[in-house]
Copies of this chain bind each other. A is one copy, B any other.
């Protein structure tokens, strides 16, 4: 079972059980963002988490193994077209140089890791229109000389 078949199986079970990533995350004690990325095939799950996800959804060992497998992370669109994803791309384009200035002023020359990294999505209710709060948390990695 490859990652795509795994995703189909998981999404079908999730729909059947009328679950949300939010509820699954709370019940399984995992972040909904990480959980969704593992189930969509963009991250591998440690063995015990993979087993917990499969069991929770009533799925078998094939799904567990597929969750454990190390994915090759591929995206087709260098510039994404879906408006929700494009807006994030636009933020990188508009604020990329700015973030480089501000982060490197605070931390020195280096980068924010996208590997030793986590991310959360929160909803801030607001009478003028609810707001999305994205929190990215990555280890700072300094360049080294040698």
Contact = CB atoms under 8 A, between A and B. Distances in A.
A106 B83 contact: no
Given A132-B137, A137-B124, A84 B100 contact: yes
Given A85-B99, A130-B140, A145-B43, A94 B107 contact: no
A90 interface: yes
A91 interface: yes
* Range class of the A interface residue count: 35 or more
A101 B132 contact: no
Contact of A82 (B73, B98, B113): B73
B121 A106 contact: yes
A105 B23 CA distance: 11
A128 to B, nearest CB: 8
Interface of A: 20-22, 30-34, 36-38, 40, 42-46, 49, 70, 72-75, 77-119, 121, 123-124, 126, 128-146
Contacts of A137: 124, 131-134
B134 A104 contact: no
Contact of A131 (B32, B77, B138): B138
A32 B73 CA distance: 23
